[in-house]
Amino acid sequence: MAVNDGLSIGALARRTGLAVSAIRYYEAQGLIKPWRNNGGQRRFERADLRRLSFVMIAQQFGFTLPQIKQELDRLPDGRTPTKEDWARISQAFRTTLDDRIATLTRLRDDLDGCIGCGCLSLQACALYNPQDRAGEKGQGPRYLMGDPRG
């Protein structure tokens, strides 16, 4: 196959490990944009291999398809992302991941103590959350959401 012939959806599925139906779904979401050859068959650029690989990795990190699409929309169509493109994207994702790691660390460290939910049902709440001070900060587990104690 010549480079300018593009990849068939089957070839793209084999290369990425994705089901054809998943590739069609990502196409419908605007994450990749195939073109049609003279026979009317859907064809994909080789850059779509990297785009789909990025989608799969970003999903494993917990990013949503709209978040992923927002980043991919900044890349020119039909061009393989450059090292600079990936550096910019990874820096944006790194900030989000660092925030998640901090939240998970707080959860792990505070799991056996008060989470600041305002329940006042544990005897320890009188120590951790007297007069339901956490409830004044808003709904949910305030301390695990990053609010300072006290």
Give pLDDT tens digits for 14-41: 999 999 999 999 999 999 999 999 888 9
Q: Model confidence over 43-57: pLDDT tens digits? A: 999 889 988 998 999
Residue 9 is predicted with a pLDDT of: 96
d(CA 143, CA 102): 12
Angle between helices 9-16 and 47-60 (to 10 degrees): 50
Q: If phi over 0 gives left and psi between -120 and 50 gives alpha, with beta otherwise, what is residue 106?
A: alpha
Angle between helices 9-16 and 20-28 (to 10 degrees): 110
